[in-house]
Amino acid sequence: MSSAPALLFEVMDKEWPLWFVVAGFLGVGLFGLFVRMKRPIAVVLFLAWAVYGAVRQLAELNDPYVGPAIRSEAGLPYVVLSYASIGIGVLLPLIGAWLGRTR
């Protein structure tokens, strides 16, 4: 059995795919934004969920061993879109809480 397939997917087969990162953070952010209409206190749950995902993703991207491997295998767009998704996923529930408070 050849070890060539194992060499092709060293890191990115263990990481979240980009579509999941973008959809996950955007979904959590949008739900956190719109949930304030029914239950304003539930924004805390969505914000905690987004922060947990952000900490997990940032820990992987900034790891001294895994981070460079992610950048070399997935490229810079993966890193940039991950950071943008994290920002959106955390900011949207905060915007929802702010809109709910000023309402």
pLDDT in tens, 46-66: 889 999 999 999 999 999 999
pLDDT attached to residue 8 = 56
DSSP string for 65-93: THHHHHHHHH-HHHHHHHHHHHHHHHHHH
In the predicted model, residues of the chain with pLDDT beneath 50 are: 1
pLDDT attached to residue 19 = 95
The token duo for 100 is 């709910």
What are the structural domain ranges in the chain?
18-102
